[in-house]
Amino acid sequence: MKKKLPRVLIISEFYFNDNSGGGVLLKNLYEKYPKDKIFIIHEDVNVNSNTNNSYLLKKPSKIGNFLKKLLPSFFIVLLIEFKNFYIINKKKKVNINLLTKLKQFKPDIIYTIFGNYNLMCLIKQLKIKLKIPLITHVMDNVLATYNKKTKDYKLFKYLIDSSKTRIAINTKMSTEYRKIFGYKFEVLHNGVDRKKVRKVNLKHKTKIITYIGSVFKNAQLNSLIEITNVLKKLMEENFNIQC
């Protein structure tokens, strides 16, 4: 007799895709999981996924796309920060239509890789309303961007404290986060199927380094800049490297 699989409510900024680290993780992690046992709440406006088992939190904005083309990038950053400040100080309510769909789906657990402040508020509210276990998966070192006195940090810590299972993306993070929060963190790397990775036999003397991934500020972007600076120094020392 097959073990009964739980009905999973996924809450993420990303949908299943090949365009982002979060999307790739979800796609590979749940590739063989029964689709009728998955409900996903996401913010990917490029996906037309308003099905019975999905819910899109955002709507495509024609004005937003127009402004991105018209305004300089630094001004757009200021607008986003102003919007985030407004969101943080705005009282939030769970959409009644979303609650209705979730009651019909009847999830057993919540799985999340966190997200922006507004999304974390939603995770908290649904955890309280649905009264089901929470699994949190930390994909980036978010503590590097949070001050302990900010609402973001307090909400992040609340979700960690409220979790039944906590997952880190690597062993080092698992060890450090256990010291900080006092909980065991399981380890789960990016969900990539090794069988799908094609091996290439390189015979170049020059070490060719290629970066594949996203470049979000305060996450991959900062790390990428640090790596680039190190590689630059190595090349100045006549190491045979090509980027």
pLDDT digits (tens, 9 = 90+) for 150-190: 899 999 999 999 999 999 999 999 999 999 999 999 999 76
Q: In the predicted model, is pLDDT for residue 8 greater than 90?
A: yes
**pLDDT of 41-96, one tens digit each?**
998 888 766 678 999 987 765 555 555 556 565 555 556 555 555 544 455 578 89
DSSP 8-state symbol, 115: -
pLDDT > 80? residue 101: yes
Residue position matching structure tokens 């365009």? 19
User: What number does CATH give the domain 8-61+90-187?
Assistant: 3.40.50.2000
C-alpha distances in angstroms, 151 versus 78, 121, 137, 154, 163? 20, 10, 20, 5, 18
pLDDT at 77: 53
Provide the 10 A C-beta neighbour count for residue 126: 22
Whether the pTM exceeds 0.95: the reply is: no
- Cα–Cα distance, 122 to 25 (Å, whole number): 21
Position 218, amino acid: N
Q: What per-residue confidence (pLDDT) applies to 75?
A: 56
Give residue limits of the domains in the chain. 8-61+90-187, 198-242
pLDDT tens, residue by residue, 116-157 = 889 999 999 999 999 999 999 998 888 887 878 789 999 999
